[in-house]
Amino acid sequence: MLKIFDPFRDITFGSMVLRMVLAVVCSSIIGLERSAKNRPAGLRTHTLVCMAAAIASMTGHFMYLNLLLPTDISRMGAQVISGLGFLGTGTIIVTRKQTIKGLTTAASLWATGIVGLSIGAGFYEGGIIATAIVILIQNVFANIGYSIRYLPEFSIRLTYNHRKALDSVMRYCKDNGLAITDLQVTRNEEVSDYYEALISLRPNKVVDRDDIISHIRGNNYIMTAETES
């Protein structure tokens, strides 16, 4: 541990000011990065979360060490961690294209709260290092993630007249490196034993869609089979 912080480990007025200022500074660095990317939770949200977490952590220490109350010193911090989970869900949305956005912002809010708890507990080194790592992850790791090329998902719409046909198609997809991400099956009420299915697939390797459709159409129970982007 850094000796420079040793005089501020106990709960005093000076240490309280230092912890609050440090919590605001660390959370502002994280929040500015989110605001610069026009994310739903930015500077103010991250600052408020970190400052409040620091206060909660200090309050638990103060009640136990200064007021000598028979309380669990970590209980308030544990409640903060649980509460941050509910707050983070407000930043997560599902778009019309069925893609999820806001997960990184929710994770940064949660991480910022943990930074506040560590600073409020007097673990200054941990809070500062964690802040630096969060910024590193959000910038450097983001560039690495964008450079990774993902194979596009596609769907297969088919009609068939026997239930075993769908099982055969699903087994074929799995055996050929196609992960089934969604499946919708409807039955024609007017025609018995007539089904329609929409299978969403995510390939883990380059595949030839025409070959897949050709194989599926070879099933005697398959009436029609077409790909959709």
Burial of 153 (0-12, 13-18, 19+ CB in 10 A): middle
Give me the pLDDT at residue 209, please.
87
Q: What are phi and psi of 226, to 5 degrees?
A: -140, 150
Torsion of CA 46, 47, 53, 59, to 10 degrees: -170
Averaged pLDDT, groups of 10, the chain, 229 residues long: 82 89 93 82 89 90 78 79 79 67 85 93 92 90 70 87 87 88 81 82 85 89 86
CATH of 154-228, one of 3.90.1170.50, 3.30.70.260, 3.40.718.10, 3.30.70.120: 3.30.70.260
Looking at residue 105, its pLDDT comes to: 85
Identify the pLDDT of residue 147: 67
0.95 exceeded by the pTM? no
pLDDT of 187: 80
User: Using one digit for the tens of pLDDT, what is the confidence trace for 39-56?
Assistant: 777 889 899 999 999 999
Q: What is the pLDDT of residue 88?
A: 75
Burial of 196 (0-12, 13-18, 19+ CB in 10 A): middle
Q: Where are the domains of the chain?
A: 3-147, 154-228
